[in-house]
A and B are shown apart, each in its own frame.
Chain A
Amino acid sequence: AQSVTQPDIHITVSEGASLELRCNYSYGATPYLFWYVQSPGQGLQLLLKYFSGDTLVQGIKGFEAEFKRSQSSFNLRKPSVHWSDAAEYFCLGAGGTSYGKLTFGQGTILTVHP
């Protein structure tokens, strides 16, 4: 079955520290992969996406993600976290029988300490 897994429910980092949010996928073929961020009271905002090509994807707000086929992973990274990055992050996948249908990971809540 197609699935997207975010192993970490909650991560806490200090402001200025580096960040890596994990995402693993299970699809028969290479899926389309996305990272979205949901801030309190706001909708989901697309950070970046991977369809094909260069496996290192640059997104908005200084985020990047690397697609690793061998590890079935699409981890989100940021070299230096800002307090405004505190939010919930979702990894999404689309593929298999329907590339228009998204599968959500469970979400990772990021807390940033000053």
Chain B
Amino acid sequence: GAVVSQHPSWVICKSGTSVKIECRSLDFQATTMFWYRQFPKQSLMLMATSNEGSKATYEQGVEKDKFLINHASLTLSTLTVTSAHPEDSSFYICSASLGGETQYFGPGTRLLVL
């Protein structure tokens, strides 16, 4: 149980385009979903926390207009990287929580912006 999926698993796009990444909790309803970013040889950094039906809470230094998060249902959250640039290339991981302290992580999405 507690499986989280992400789609796509990898994406290559041109600079200036927008990319949407989906995060789904497959067998449970997630009250809270989290989005992380992992740079090469670095740990994961929390970008934002989202609760279903409300605006996401962004971490300091994360541009909310750049990284749009929509948490439309208890099983789906989306992250849209708007007007992507090469420096946005990274590994994006989502996680979902049942309401407790344990988070279940998706497999991640590797984004490469050319």
Inter-chain residue pair count (beta carbon < 8 A): 42
The chain A residue with its CB closest to the CB of B5 is A43
**From A36, A42, A94, A100, contact of B32 by CB (8 A):** A100
CB A63 to nearest CB in B, in angstroms, measures 16
- For chain A, which range describes its interface: under 10, 10 to 19, 20 to 34, or 35 or more residues? 20 to 34
Check if A43 sits within 8 Å of B105, measured CB to CB: yes
CB A45 to nearest CB in B, in angstroms, measures 8
| B76-93 residues at the A interface, CB under 8 angstroms | 93
**From A34, A99, A101, contact of B46 by CB (8 A):** A101
Interchain residue pairs with CB less than 8 A apart (19): A32-B101, A42-B107, A43-B93, A43-B108, A44-B93, A44-B95, A44-B105, A45-B105, A46-B104, A49-B102, A51-B101, A90-B44, A94-B101, A100-B49, A100-B101, A101-B46, A101-B49, A102-B46, A104-B45
Using CB atoms and an 8 Å cutoff, list the residues of chain A in contact with chain B.
Answer: 32, 34, 36, 41-46, 49, 51, 90, 94, 99-102, 104-107
